[in-house]
Amino acid sequence: MNLRIEVERKLGTFELRARFEAGAGITALFGRSGSGKTSLVNSIAGLLRPDRGVVEVDGQVLFDSRRAIDLPAARRRIGYVFQEGRLFPHLSVRQNLLYGWRFTPERERYVGFDRVVELLGLGQLLERAPGALSGGEKQRVAIGRALLASPRLLLMDEPLASLDAQRKSEILQYIERLRDETKVPILYVSHVIEEVVRLADTVVLLSDGSVKAVGRPDEIMGRLDLRPQTGRYEAGAVIETTIAARDEKYGLTTLHFSGGYLLVPNVDGQPGEPLRVRIRARDVSLALHVPQGSSILNVLNARVVEIGRDEGPIVEVGLDVGGAKLLARVTRRSVEQLELRPGLNLYALIKAVSLDRHSVGFA
């Protein structure tokens, strides 16, 4: 699948000027509120007409202002999952799920009802009314309804925004299954870093209506120059790992990556399974020598690559750890006392307890 987007649209004083291409898997459209994310996905879905540009999905042109092509939303074969489930209240869960399926020509159907019910864990809910469902259950039904329409692309516009932490964790697991087992291309909209780095294969960073960067999560989140857009408080890096071993006695899992090993609280998974770990800059300390008698379990060989130029008492330091990118947030005083500079070899220290379940997800 290839997604090609070139759209321009003026909305009052706001201008959307977005251009990017993305491949298969989950593409996360990431940016702060007001950056233009919803306007962009509505342009792709056919709910908002661009002033000019092109929308192309897997070689099919859905919109082209120069060629006067503008397929109606109903003919674009794009599934849309909104922030709220938007289920039909007078229909049962089963009837909601079958709504899109019935309107899809048989030759275009690529997923069956029973498969979607199993994939999203909906078997016990089929005869219920939407009013009897929790928020997480409603979103699972909404995802299933969109999927049963056999879309060429699935749009998810902040689908977890209205859910509490427990429900968010639940839905994230189902979206991971959707990504891994159905191979349906997904454009996932969010302003929450945890969701993006856990799910995305490609990140499109949007700010003030324009695309600032496109790349893998580890590339985007590890760049100091993108801190104004990605958010300084939640700044950090993303590392691709695999499960190496589990320590049942202490409830720890050992993860292997190009720069060595990481110990994290127990993760449900088998040796060899890929995991993506987000390490926040504020959870990384630096030392010139291996600490003695410390409770910190993760001590990694690192090299200073870049030192942030922001004014103030806090400085972010870009590190290379065996080819993986890492960020550390330290005081300016520490930079001077340790005489930090590009090329300096030192140690990055990371508390295992800082790498909680919100920081670790299956890649």
More confident residue, 361 or 164: 164
Q: Give the pLDDT score at 233.
A: 55
Contact 239, 257 (CB under 8 A): yes
Q: Which CATH class is domain 236-362?
A: mainly beta
Q: What is the pLDDT of residue 234?
A: 63
| pLDDT-derived band at 232, boundaries 50, 70, 90 | low
The residue to which tokens 């942030």 are assigned: 308
Q: How far is CA 92 from CA 84, 131, 146, 151, 236, in A?
A: 17, 10, 16, 22, 43
Tell which residue, 200, 166, 209, has the closest CA to residue 358: 166
- pLDDT band for position 135 (cuts 50, 70, 90): confident
- What was the pLDDT predicted at 16? 95
Higher pLDDT, 19 or 23: 19
Residues 157/83, Cβ–Cβ less than 8 Å: yes
pLDDT digits (tens, 9 = 90+) for 299-325: 999 999 999 887 889 999 999 999 999
Once rounded to an integer, what is the mean pLDDT over residues 34-48? Answer: 93
Lowest mean pLDDT among 48-52, 156-160, 219-223: 219-223
333 burial via Cβ count (<10 Å: 0-12, 13-18, 19+): exposed
The pLDDT assigned to 339 comes to: 96
Q: What is the mean pLDDT of the chain?
A: 89
* Pair of tokens at residue 85: 């489930």
In the chain, which segments carry CATH 3.40.50.300?
Answer: 3-215
pLDDT of the residue at 245 = 92
Structure token pair of residue 360: 């670790």
What integer is the mean pLDDT of 133-160? Answer: 90
199-230 tens-digit pLDDT: 888 999 999 999 999 998 888 887 878 877 77
For 327-334, what is the mean pLDDT?
Answer: 94
Whether 85 has a pLDDT exceeding 90, the answer reads no
The type of residue at 270 is Q
Maximum mean pLDDT: which of 134-138, 196-200, 281-285: 281-285
CA distance 313 to 247: 40
**Cα(165)–Cα(357) distance, integer angstroms:** 12
Where do you find CATH 2.40.50.100 in the chain? 236-362
231: left (phi over 0), alpha (psi -120 to 50) or beta: left
> What pTM value is reported for the model?
0.83
When pLDDT is cut at 50, 70 and 90, the band that residue 363 belongs to is low
Nearest-angstrom CA–CA distance, 198 and 355: 13
Classify 196 in phi/psi space as left (phi over 0), alpha (psi -120 to 50) or beta. alpha
Give dist(CA 252, CA 246) in Å, integer. Answer: 6
Closest CA to 125 of 94, 165, 103: 94
**Quick one: which of 289, 271, 287, 307 has its CA closest to 349?**
287
Task: Place 362 in a pLDDT band, splitting at 50, 70 and 90.
Answer: low
| Percent of the chain residues past pLDDT 70, beyond the cut | 98
pLDDT on residue 65: 94
Query: Which range among 49-63, 174-188, 280-294, 330-344 shows the weakest confidence by mean pLDDT?
Result: 174-188
pLDDT score at 349: 97
3-215 under CATH 3.40.50.300, yes or no:
yes
The structure tokens listed for 206 are 């949007």
- State the CB neighbour count (10 A cutoff) for residue 268: 10
Q: Which residues contact 82 (CB under 8 A, 6 or more apart)?
A: 142, 157, 159
For residues 133-140, average pLDDT: 89
| pLDDT of 238 strictly over 70 | yes
Please answer whether residues 175 and 187 qualify as being in contact, where contact means their C-beta atoms are separated by less than 8 angstroms: no
Q: Which helix (H) or strand (E) holds 147?
A: helix 135-148
